[in-house]
A and B are shown apart, each in its own frame.
Chain A
Amino acid sequence: GAVVSQHPSRVICKSGTSVKIECRSLDFQATTMFWYRQFPKQSLMLMATSNEGSKATYEQGVEKDKFLINHASLTLSTLTVTSAHPEDSSFYICSAREVEAFFGQGTRLTVV
């Protein structure tokens, strides 16, 4: 299947700092990218959907000023967790879609 690269795979940051997570589609152009959050033993919670060149559409309850999403090209989307707090610690996963959707390997964020 197609390859979606997500970096970093793990990050530990101090409370109050910002963290940027990158999601790249390596061998296809992703017209749409999705960002998810996943808590232990729970399913994927869709946070936002972004189309290249457009503003992201956020799910209800997701703070768009806290979780900044940029989808500047057909192969790259970024999620920035601003002013991170311990409750933002989670597993964040991106997905990129041209026709089928493929996932990155996820980023485990720990805010201390």
Chain B
Amino acid sequence: QKEVEQDPGPLSVPEGAIVSLNCTYSNSAFQYFMWYRQYSRKGPELLMYTYSSGNKEDGRFTAQVDKSSKYISLFIRDSQPSDSATYLCAMAGDMRFGAGTRLTVKP
């Protein structure tokens, strides 16, 4: 079993939709969780950094952590075409990534 599992998609939604991106992890020792956004041929950009279970909100983005289920989510409200990118989850500590989910927001 991989340490971080993420559905690679692709995921296509209309502009304005709510997007839900998810990852599961196997190592309960993970304490910090991060979401990155990567545009084609660019380095990943840190979107959200969370520690505890629960929700963390930043503008249109909400990160959710459920440590009991080893499940993390990223929600994007009012999605925009500029949100089209690959979204990657990572567990701090060893900085291994999930497969990344390719998101396309259609105008």
How many B residues, CB 8 Å from partner?
Answer: 21
Q: Is B41 an interface residue (CB 8 A)?
A: yes
- Known interface pairs A6-B43, A101-B34, A106-B41; A43-B95 also in contact (CB < 8 Å): no
Residues on A with C-beta less than 8 A from B43 are 4, 6, 93, 103-106
List the one stretch of B61-69, B76-84, B97-105 in contact with chain A. Answer: B97-105
Residues on A with C-beta less than 8 A from B8 are 43
Task: Assess the A91–B41 pair: CB atoms within 8 A.
Answer: yes
Q: Is A78 an interface residue (CB 8 A)?
A: no
In-complex Cβ contact of A103 among B41, B44, B98, B102 (8 A): B44
Report the Cα distance A41→B101, complex, angstroms: 10
In-complex Cβ contact of B95 among A4, A49, A104 (8 A): A49
Tell me the number of A-to-B contacts counted with CB atoms below 8 Å: 52
Interface size class of A (residues with CB under 8 A): 20 to 34
Q: Is A24 an interface residue (CB 8 A)?
A: no
Residues on A with C-beta less than 8 A from B100 are 43-44
- Known interface pairs A43-B99, A44-B97; A103-B92 also in contact (CB < 8 Å): no
Task: Assess the B45–A103 pair: CB atoms within 8 A.
Answer: yes
Residues on A with C-beta less than 8 A from B99 are 42-43
Q: Is B75 an interface residue (CB 8 A)?
A: no
Q: Is A97 an interface residue (CB 8 A)?
A: yes
Task: Assess the A1–B98 pair: CB atoms within 8 A.
Answer: no
Report the Cα distance A102→B49, complex, angstroms: 11
Q: Is A95 an interface residue (CB 8 A)?
A: yes
Q: Is A68 an interface residue (CB 8 A)?
A: no
- Interfacial residues, chain A to chain B (CB-CB below 8 A): 1, 4, 6, 34, 41-44, 46, 49, 91, 93, 95, 97, 100-106, 108
Q: What are 13 contact pairs spanning A and B, CB under 8 A?
A: A42-B99, A46-B94, A46-B96, A46-B97, A91-B41, A95-B44, A95-B95, A100-B46, A100-B49, A101-B95, A103-B36, A104-B43, A106-B43
